[in-house]
Amino acid sequence: MLGSDYSTKFSPWLASGSLSPRLIHDEVKRYENERQANSSTYWVLFELIWRDYFRFLSVKYGNLLFHIGGPRNVQRNWSQDKKLFESWRDGCTGYPLIDANMKELSTTGFMSNRGRQIVCSFLVRDMGIDWRMGAEWFETCLLDYDPCSNYGNWTYGSGVGNDPREDRYFSIPKQAQTYDPEGEYVAYWLPRLLTIPREKRNFPGSLYIRQIVPLKFGTTGRHNKEETSLGGARRRNDRRWNRN
């Protein structure tokens, strides 16, 4: 998530039409034939396929991609709580991994693919906010904004698109441990965390700002009765998603 070589950074040029996806495909295949195929070449081609998928999805469903119920007209009682949304938008949720990604987005116009999935999950699953508000903020900020990919991914991530798992959830503790175990990424975008021991940067407690909502599975990443009973926002969101 931190650095320049975890992704190709082709997306702004693809979105503007300055770079051909066919050219990328042909060059990757040439590299594989002349040298070797590896995990990097696999993922470049994989993401190009996803890009095409969302284009075909937009052709099939048209304006339904922008409707609150998405292509499948899923009925959810979404919140449009301004305070909650602004805390997410401004990177002030109290969760460093969320806040760092949102700070990167507003500062640079870019966010990693992993980060986009994490902040989407947090907005719609933990906050229960209308997914379109998140999609519109991405549209405002992203250098690589593309309507098909942006709204396609948001409908997918919020459970109103073609994802067979309607309740897809990204656990912040698990994501932090996997992708930023030393807290380097969060400390880069949130310098106040630099003085905190690395192992505590993603969950610094009172050393950081107050968490605006509890997580679905708590800060341990495990489901238990105490954690799922925390806070009115969490309970309201459980009812919204028909959870017991």
Taking 3-state DSSP, the helix, strand and coil percentages for the chain, each rounded to the nearest 5, stand at 60, 0, 40
34 sits in the region (left: phi over 0; alpha: psi -120 to 50; else beta) called alpha
From the list 150, 154, 202, 237, the catalytic residue is 154
10 is in an annotated binding site: yes
Q: Is 82 annotated as a binding residue?
A: no
Q: Is 11 assigned to a binding site?
A: yes
Does 47 count as an annotated binding residue? Answer: yes
Given the residues 78, 88, 137, 189, select the one marked as catalytic.
Answer: 78
Helix and strand numbers (H, E) in the chain are 12, 0
Residue from 131, 137, 150, 153 carrying the catalytic annotation: 131
Q: Which two tokens stand for residue 166?
A: 């309607």
Say if residue 51 carries a ligand binding annotation: yes
65 is in an annotated binding site: no
Following CA atoms 229, 230, 235, 241 in sequence, which dihedral angle do they give, to the nearest 10 degrees?
Answer: -80
Catalytic residue among 13, 32, 50, 241: 50
Q: Is residue 47 annotated as part of the catalytic site, yes or no?
A: yes
In terms of Cα–Cα distance, which of 125, 130, 61, 52 is closest to 95?
125
113 is catalytic: yes
Task: Judge whether 103 is annotated as a binding position.
Answer: no
Q: What does the CA dihedral 160, 230, 100, 96 come to, rounded to 10 degrees?
A: -150
Check if 78 is active-site.
yes
User: Known binder of ligand: residue 9?
Assistant: yes
- 154 included as an active-site residue: yes
Q: Is 144 annotated as a binding residue?
A: yes
Half-sphere exposure of 127 (CA within 13 A, CB side): 30
Catalytic residue among 13, 32, 113, 227: 113
Residue 19 known to bind ligand:
no
- Catalytic residue IDs: 47, 50, 78, 113, 131, 154
Which residue numbers belong to the known binding site for FAD? 7-11, 47-54, 144-146
Which residue numbers belong to the known binding site? 7-11, 47-54, 144-146
